[in-house]
Amino acid sequence: MMTDQQIIQQPVSILDGIGVQSVNRLQKLNIVSVLDLLFHLPIRYEDRTRVTPIANLNIGQSALICGTIEHSEVLMRGKRSLICQLRDGNGSQLSLRFFHFSAAQQSQLQAGVLLSCFGAIRQGYAGLEIIHPEYKILRNEEDIVTESSLTPIYPLTDGLRQSTIQKSVKQALTLCLEKIPEYLPASIRSRFQFPDIQQTLLTLHAPPTEFSSADLQQSIAVKRLAFEEFIAHHLKMLLGKQRHKQWQAPVFPVNENLKQDFINTLPFQLTAAQQRVIAEIASDCAEPHPMLRLVQGDVGSGKTIVAAITALAALSANYQTAIMAPTELLAEQHFRNFSQWFEPFDINLVFLSGQQKGKTRQAILEAIADGSAAIIIGTHALFQESVHFAKLGLIIIDEQHRFGVHQRLALREKSIDAKPHQLVMTATPIPRTLAMLQYSDLDISIIDELPPGRKPITTCAISNERRQQVVNRINHWVQSKKQAYWVCTLIEESEALQCEAAEKTAELLKAALPEVNVALVHGRMKAAEKDQIMQAFKSHQYDLLVATTVIEVGVDVPNAGLMIIENPERLGLSQLHQLRGRVGRGELESYCLLLYQAPLSNTAAHRLGIMRDTQDGFLIAEKDLQLRGPGEIMGTRQTGQIGFKIADLEQHADLLEQVEIAAQQILQEQPESAELIISRWLGGVHQYAEV
């Protein structure tokens, strides 16, 4: 006897009509078992449950129709086509149009023939028509076949037929619907009036006739599955955290003297918020279990020094620190800052980027592997397979929002014996509901204070028609020994186009501003070249830096207090805020000019208004969430990474609020379900144990 679990886990090949080829095609849709097939949901439905009178048809609808051909002919006008005029019992007319037809079809579809047909209704030249309907010739009206429930239409892959999948699902329902276990506690189901899992899947695969395609996403059945899926993601993070906290981690003993000496060399005093967060981190790292902490702090709040002081703790315990930044530019900047800060310690800092090749790269990899490199700074190149750390004790990830969740998790696996402590930093405040899906494996610290003396940035929106004035303003600005940025943006994230636009703009500005030293950086330059230009800009060999959004994160040049952003209407608020964060870093009065393309839509005007009115990153993030919704905010980079099967962040946003509570309830009431839910939605248990 097979257990229920064995029955539902049987391969799809046991179903009639599923041969080797279909197995392969289904696998492309991630369908391996019969159970997988039942979790492959229709995208819409067709109604073949009843015959619709022609008089009742609506354009756009797909319908089953029954009628007699009154007249048929081949038209040569335009594209050659066969047209059949169909009239039903109520006397209304409809045309069937075939662009591809055989001689046999043509002789079959003659006046007097009774047909049932199905297809999408559209507006033709002379009344309603269906192009290439499915049809069946009937002997009499009783001959017509109607379905007892709506016909589900499934997502397909090349070569897989709709009818194959439809038939297989029907068999799968008979075979194993009853055996699918319920994982949501009854209390949760009744609170939300969710149907049980069997009813849910039955409704979706064989919906009652009153169901419509439009109801699908909003149906309680889909909601129930989406909710379960959200819960699975949240639970995965929670259990991952629990497990992670049980691992051994190196202890970094608190060394107050060393820390104080280090802080005394800084040209500024730490803010109270920085000190608080540093203390939170220190107490995590003094435990023999890995720290998993997210530091949130607005642009310019001084996260880098917090990272450095954490690295100092690892250093004094003789462990390596890996620092990962999302762009080469930022990684290089960190490398320079850290080199300066750690100069008195006579340690080996290395920089690792994807662009280093050959001997240079080999030497760096060796230093990392033999432990002679104490602090390793780089881009995502850090978690490539060829990188082996001798004694990794701390991982710091800067500007986490630019990385996917999985990249973050991958780096954690790099350590051999003990799991390293992990510090994640971001300037983008994450709305709580989203944080729950992505960061509930982390503890959170917030730097809610900017260093003293920062002047507010004056932001104004200026139409492109006044571009010349803006250019003149740069001239004045640099005459008083100050520097400026000009940021070129494009809507498509095509790097090539963006770089081209920046090159062109730089040429134009050079011509328009002969007195001004103009430099250019963009993403397609070699690391060394970018680095050299940034260095030169920082040391004021250039007055104006024309750049793409590569400078979005982290770049720090206090003497640059004027920023022009082209086409700001095309960027999200959070991204604008990040860009603007490049100015207002020193003692200067700073300005950000949003050079938009007129005319502005109302929403765009509203958004630029928000930028003008506030500089509070948290407020901006909230507005961004309201205006764009969670899907856009997280961007495809993030949502794609999460890879929901059924849930949709937009459609099911209202469910997010309840996910945390429900997950806690499951952990308390039936903890054994937690892992089952995770493996139902996110694959085998072994996969998440590694997290």
The listed partner (ligand ADP, Mg ion, none) that binds 556, CB under 5 to 8 Å by sort, is ligand ADP
Q: Which is nearer to ligand ADP, 13 or 269 (CB)?
A: 269
Q: How far is the CB of 293 from ligand ADP (least distance, A)?
A: 15
One residue of 46, 47, 129, 556 binding ligand ADP per CB under 6 A: 556
Nearest approach in angstroms of CB 260 to Mg ion is 24
- Number of residues counted as binding ligand ADP (CB under 6 A): 18
Residues 573-612 that bind ligand ADP (CB under 6 A): 585
Let me know the angle formed at the C-alpha of 545 by 544 and 549, rounded to the nearest 5 degrees.
Answer: 145
Rounded-to-integer distance, Cα 487 and Cα 496, Å: 15
Q: What binding mask, one character per residue, do residues 297-326 give for ligand ADP by CB under 6 A, x or -?
A: x-xxxxxxx---------------------
Q: How far is the CB of 635 from ligand ADP (least distance, A)?
A: 20
Return the range that interacts with ligand ADP (CB under 6 A); candidates 9-17, 166-174, 293-301, 610-618: 293-301
Pull the structure tokens for residue 612: 């003008």
The helix/strand count (H/E) of the chain reads as: 24, 22
Q: What is the crossing angle of helices 467-479 and 495-512, to 10°?
A: 70
Question: Between residues 308 and 474, which has the closer beta carbon with respect to ligand ADP?
Answer: 308
Q: How far is the CB of 302 from ligand ADP (least distance, A)?
A: 3
Tokens of 87: 């009239």
**Residue 304 C-beta: closest distance to Mg ion, Å:** 5
We find the least distance from the C-beta atom of residue 396 to Mg ion, in angstroms, to be 11
Q: Is 181 left (phi over 0), alpha (psi -120 to 50) or beta?
A: beta
Q: Look up residue 125 and give its DSSP letter.
A: T
Which of 67, 300, 554, 584 is in the footprint of Mg ion by CB under 5 A? Answer: 554
**Considering the complex, what minimum distance in angstroms separates the CB of residue 581 from ligand ADP?**
6
Q: 212: helix, coil or strand?
A: coil
Minimal CA–CA distance to 97: which of 56, 125, 59, 116? 125
Hunting for tokens 């929670």 — which residue is that? 238
- Contact (CB, 8 A) for 185 and 25: no
Taking CB within 5 to 8 Å according to partner kind, which of ligand ADP, Mg ion, none is near residue 133? none
Provide φ and ψ at 33, rounded to 5°.
Answer: -100, 170
- Which of these segments, 157-165, 294-302, 313-321, 486-494, binds ligand ADP (CB under 6 A)? 294-302
Least Å distance, CB 639 to Mg ion, is 24
- By beta-carbon proximity to ligand ADP, the closer residue of 422 and 428 is 428
Choice between 431 and 554, CB closer to ligand ADP: 554
DSSP string, 361-374: HHHHHHHHHHT---
Tell me which amino acid residue 611 is.
M
Residue 290's binding partner, choosing from ligand ADP, Mg ion, none, with beta-carbon cut-off 5 to 8 A by kind? none
In the complex with ligand ADP, which residue's Cβ is closer, 333 or 548?
333
Interface stretch with ligand ADP, choices 47-55, 67-75, 296-304, 376-384 (CB under 6 A): 296-304
Question: Which residues in 491-550 contact ligand ADP (CB under 6 A)?
Answer: none
Q: Name the residue nearer to ligand ADP (CB basis): 304 or 548.
A: 304
Smaller CB separation from ligand ADP, 165 or 442: 442
Q: In whole angstroms, how close is the CB of 338 to ligand ADP at the nearest point?
A: 11
539: left (phi over 0), alpha (psi -120 to 50) or beta: alpha
- At a CB cut-off of 8 Å and minimum separation 6, what does 69 contact? 84, 85, 86, 109, 110, 111, 112, 113, 115
**Nearest approach, Cβ of 586 to Mg ion (angstroms)?**
16
CA distances for 80 relative to 77, 97, 121, 135, angstroms: 6, 10, 20, 20
> Is residue 423 near ligand ADP by the rule CB under 6 A?
no
b (16+ CB within 10 A) / e for 642-656: bebebbebebbeebb
Residues 437-476 that bind ligand ADP (CB under 6 A): 451
Q: How far apart are alpha carbons 1 and 597 in whole angstroms?
A: 71
Give the Cα separation of 465 and 298 in Å (integer): 33
Q: Are strands 62-75 and 114-120 parallel, antiparallel or unpaired?
A: antiparallel
Task: Give the residue nearest to ligand ADP (CB).
Answer: 302
Instruction: By CB under 5 A, name the binding residues for Mg ion.
Output: 554
Binding-site ranges for ligand ADP (CB under 6 A): 268-271, 274, 297, 299-305, 427, 451, 554, 556, 585
